Structure 1
């Protein structure tokens, strides 16, 4: 178990609420959009994926998120805030918690990290098709859930690590509330696991829905046991209410096997 992980925050049986937050807009999000619009093969990110920071707008989104979180009554605030260790998620969590004025330490858990892309890292779709045409065909054949790039992960691989995180929600003290700050694929796959989705269902969702930066997804389970109920999904109203731009940085929408 990770020394900084979820079970060190709170222990023994039955979380009742789960908040899922996507990080604010990152410099990588901006670079990927610019590369796609320019027809480039390589995304000129400023650092390795784990070290990519929030953009200036992403920082503003994190502050707006924190302002929204500050409205939560003290009795209903999360008992634990756990972040992906990637800089963009960690920065979002820390800015939001500080802005909200919550006296809670942001913990890290590497199981919440973004999907690893292996040899396809930093490549646009055009770059993959140009440099690794066989991989491009294999990705189309297998679909997003099961395609694993060399040196990387499939969505199924990510779901496997997330299952252990979500299982720990069943071993927390009764009545506990948890907030996870993570990535778009992670949020999609939490839905896949908690709602028992089929491959077709999760890929249909991924093809039609982009997880917005600094958005909030909320699950409830008042009894602290059994299945979770999706209360709200991909909500970013707190950004528009505060005059902060809502950004949509989605991955490749070609997700179904062919």
Structure 2
């Protein structure tokens, strides 16, 4: 057997999303956050979103064989709250972690341009897909580890799987499976946002994968939870 249906969920709003949004609004250089990226928890709104995701999950739980999740706290909290007491087979995989930003970590767009102008210019030259900030990863780097992850998942016994991770992970899984080239991915990303606690659905047929739903947040709107999207730069990914 092989995976025939794949659901991709982004974690709920984190305190890092809130801090990053406010830092952009206030025109700050740095995002005031004193925990490492792996330990950033959900905000109160993010917890509400995760519970609303659980309501969606109640209608799909019987069709899901396994849940894969990023080791980062905000993703694990989202899945734990969504699953509740219902349980399920949960597997943590470090290849699903968020993109590492290196020296640009915790910088706003303004901060990256002012504090690292040479790196900012290099990013403008190379483009988002191939730019690797010192100590960090490019989108291409993340795609490499996701190819490894997907090979393992597709070779397993499960037919229907869910991944709970980060916006860059969702975008790059689409890039790999649909598949897209660099211009196609960047064009898609420019016009589409992976919202907090949203669900994206991929289905595999005889001719390959198709996108059934992207960044669906109907479950959040029904529950009255706020849907948040980081409005910041295309150069520095949100937390």
Normalised by the shorter chain, which TM-score bucket? over 0.9
2:230 counterpart of 1:244: no
2:43 counterpart of 1:55: yes
Structure 1 residues 73-109: Cα deviation after superposition (integer angstroms, max 9, x where no partner): 62x1x111111000000100111111xx533142210
Partner residue, 1:81: 67
- Structure-1-length-normalised TM-score: 0.87
Other structure's SS at 1:148 match: coil
CA contact under 8 A between 2:109 and 2:235: conserved in structure 1? no
TM-superposed CA distance for 1:154, in Å, is 0.1
- Structure-2-length-normalised TM-score: 0.94
Q: 2: CA distance between counterparts of 1:73 and 1:143?
A: 40
Partner residue, 2:94: 110
2:197 counterpart of 1:214: yes
Other structure's SS at 1:228 match: strand
Q: 2: CA distance between counterparts of 1:251 and 1:146?
A: 20
Distance change in 2, residues 1:73/1:30 (3 Å): closer
Structure 2 portions without partners, runs of 5+ = none
Other structure's SS at 1:221 match: strand
Partner residue, 1:229: 210
Structure 1 residues 189-248: Cα deviation after superposition (integer angstroms, max 9, x where no partner): 01110012111111111112211000000111257xx62221111100100011111111
Alignment root-mean-square deviation, CA: 1.6
Instruction: Count matched residues.
Output: 236
Structure 1 residues 103-142: Cα deviation after superposition (integer angstroms, max 9, x where no partner): 3142210000000000111011111111110000000111
Partner residue, 2:154: 170
Partner residue, 1:130: 114
Other structure's SS at 2:215 match: strand
Q: 1: CA distance between counterparts of 2:49 and 2:5?
A: 23
Distance change in 2, residues 1:178/1:24 (3 Å): same
TM-superposed CA distance for 1:251, in Å, is 4.9
